[in-house]
Amino acid sequence: MFTREELQVLRSSLNIIDIKGSNAKFIATLQTKIEKEFNRIQKEIEAGPPELQTKKENKKPIKKQ
């Protein structure tokens, strides 16, 4: 949908614009949606590619003999 950079621009721009009272609820909802999507993408980036995620989960500690 959006890249992390695009969401950063949208998030920053919503903090700068003048908000009229009639639009306040809409803008607040939009800010929340953008923040949630940004956090979701950030977690995906931190987790790494899906093929590496399964390898990380399936790793078992090696026992020393």
Predicted structure pTM score: 0.64
Q: Which residue has the tokens 């609820």?
A: 25
- Confidence class for position 50, pLDDT limits 50, 70, 90: confident
**Helices 24-47 and 4-16, axial angle in degrees (round to 10):** 150
- Per the CB < 8 A criterion, the answer to whether 10 and 34 are in contact is yes
- Per the CB < 8 A criterion, the answer to whether 22 and 39 are in contact is no
Q: Would the pLDDT of 11 be above 80?
A: yes
Q: Which residue has the tokens 């998030």?
A: 11
